[in-house]
């Protein structure tokens, strides 16, 4: 699979990730800004967490970030993990500044874990003999993003 295709998928994923975390998959931005619920900050790990389901979703949402950072950039493993940590820290800080969602150390930990898993998956599947599996993962990821986008649009306009 071409590097250009991977870059396009990465760009779409980043758009999707920002839309998911910062805009909570909202299409109607005025409604989004009216939903700002105040600031919430949790700096104690694994206390007042949103439950196992939310932590698992945080991990899964960031697995592609680790994958794509290694696939389309020249970052080495530790640098890529540092970028993942920084990106999730920025998301949590922006959520606090704009009073959207809860800023939580658990999110930083779980998002970084997810990105780290993506880095490991890339490392395991980067060999030529396993490249088809990796390409298939990118296609599935892209299809899932499009499906979620389509479902959100249908839900929004179906009201």
Place of tokens 């890529």: 80
Question: Would you state the pLDDT for residue 146?
Answer: 77
Question: Would you state the pLDDT for residue 85?
Answer: 98
High-pLDDT (> 70) share of the chain, %: 86
d(CA 119, CA 117): 5
pTM comes to 0.82
> How crowded is residue 39: how many other Cβ atoms within 10 Å of its Cβ?
14
Distance (Å) of CA 64 to CA 13, 41, 51, 68, 102: 8, 26, 22, 6, 23
d(CA 48, CA 42): 8
Burial letters 86-115, b for 16+ CB under 10 A, else e: ebbeebbeebbeeebbbbbbbbbbbbbbbb
Instruction: Show the low-confidence residues of the chain (pLDDT under 70).
Output: 1, 27-38, 48-50, 152, 155-159
Question: Would you state the pLDDT for residue 30?
Answer: 52
d(CA 89, CA 84): 9
Question: Would you state the pLDDT for residue 37?
Answer: 60
Q: Domain locations in the chain? A: 40-138
């Amino acid at each position: 699979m071409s590097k250009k295709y991977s870059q396009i998928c990465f760009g779409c994923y980043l758009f999707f990730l920002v839309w998911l975390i910062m805009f909570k998959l909202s299409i109607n931005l005025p409604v989004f800004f009216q939903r700002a619920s105040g600031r919430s900050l949790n700096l104690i790990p694994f206390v007042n967490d949103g439950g196992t389901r939310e932590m698992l979703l945080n991990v899964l949402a960031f697995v592609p970030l680790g994958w794509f950072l290694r696939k389309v950039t020249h970052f080495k493993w530790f640098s890529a993990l540092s970028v993942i940590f920084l990106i999730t820290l920025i998301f949590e800080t922006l959520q606090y500044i704009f009073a959207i969602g809860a800023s939580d150390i658990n999110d930083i930990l779980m998002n970084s874990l997810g990105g780290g898993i993506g880095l490991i998956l890339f490392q395991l599947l980067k060999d030529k003999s396993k490249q088809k599996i990796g390409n298939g993962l990118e296609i599935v990821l892209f299809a899932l993003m499009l499906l979620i986008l389509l479902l959100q649009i249908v839900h929004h306009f179906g009201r």
